[in-house]
């Protein structure tokens, strides 16, 4: 089963993807971690993508798709995967559909985690991240055990410039312009399920799992 998690920045996609991986046996494939892994291992794809990453530009779609197909082709993804951070545009969604179709596969379900703008601003303004492994923390809801350091790898945490309020508003505008059209794209093929992301994490997870169980039933 291949599942896409959609939602604005701060909707909790990473947290929920990890929960789905644990409870539904779906590998969590996060685009950012996938890029870092390829660059870290010095793969051919990673070398090609590195210049884009270092320039702060988007990794070209063809490289991203190639990395994604390599990742979901590994043995640990035999039972399926949850895609977090990709696709971001209709062009990317179409490229993903075409690539999976060539393997006789398809995206079974698209789970849209909806959160209002006021709540997103609250969540993102207190967010800190690990620049080394990508782990995410929040001052109020998910602080690290050791103040200022990542629980996973021990690296000092930092707050990204794009997690500051003015930048967050810009990110949400970009999301609306580029990614929201994906909602209509997946609605047309009856694959979209909306989940209230302003509930507690357990309730969101419950609703996401219910949507997946409806697919496999």
Query: 6 pairs with which residues across the strands?
Result: 112
Ranges of beta strands (E only) in 62-145 are 81-84, 109-114, 127-129, 136-138
Instruction: Quote the radius of gyration of the chain (alpha carbons, Å).
Output: 17
From the candidates 171, 191, 194, 206, which is the catalytic residue? Answer: 171
Whether 206 is a known active-site residue: answer no
Which of these is catalytic: 36, 109, 123, 127? Answer: 127
Q: For residue 180, what are its two tokens? A: 């929201």
**Edge-first strand listing for the sheet containing 27-30:** 27-30, 81-84, 2-6, 109-114, 192-196
Q: Which of 16, 37, 11 is nearest to 26 (CA)?
A: 16
The one catalytic residue in 36, 88, 109, 123 is 88
Respond yes or no: is residue 171 known to be catalytic.
yes
Q: Are 138 and 120 in contact (CB under 8 A)?
A: no
Q: Which of 40, 91, 152, 160 is catalytic?
A: 160
User: Is 88 part of the annotated catalytic residue set?
Assistant: yes
Examine the residue annotation and report whether 40 is marked as an active-site residue of this protein.
no
Q: Do residues 128 and 137 lie in contact, with contact meaning Cβ atoms separated by under 8 Å? A: yes
Q: Is 188 a catalytic residue?
A: no
Positions annotated as catalytic residues are 13, 88, 127, 160, 171
């Amino acid at each position: 089963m291949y599942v896409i998690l959609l939602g604005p920045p701060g909707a909790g996609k990473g947290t929920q993807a990890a929960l789905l991986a644990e409870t539904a046996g779906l590998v969590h494939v996060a685009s950012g971690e996938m890029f870092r892994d390829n660059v870290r291992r010095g793969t051919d794809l990673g070398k090609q993508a590195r210049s884009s990453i270092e320039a702060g530009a988007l990794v070209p779609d063809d490289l991203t798709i190639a990395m994604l197909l390599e990742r979901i082709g590994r043995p640990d993804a035999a039972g399926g995967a949850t895609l977090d951070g990709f696709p971001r545009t209709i062009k990317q969604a179409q490229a993903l559909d075409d690539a999976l179709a060539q393997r006789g596969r398809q995206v079974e379900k698209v789970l849209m985690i909806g959160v209002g703008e006021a709540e997103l601003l609250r969540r993102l303004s207190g967010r800190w991240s690990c620049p080394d492994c990508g782990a995410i923390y929040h001052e109020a809801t998910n602080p690290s055990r050791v103040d200022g350091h990542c629980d996973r790898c021990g690296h000092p945490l930092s707050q990204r410039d794009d997690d500051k309020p003015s930048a967050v508003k810009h990110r949400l505008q970009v999301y609306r312009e580029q990614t929201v059209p994906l909602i209509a794209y997946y609605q047309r093929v009856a694959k979209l399920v909306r989940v209230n992301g302003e509930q507690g994490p357990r309730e969101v997870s419950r609703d996401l799992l219910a949507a997946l169980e409806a697919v496999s039933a």
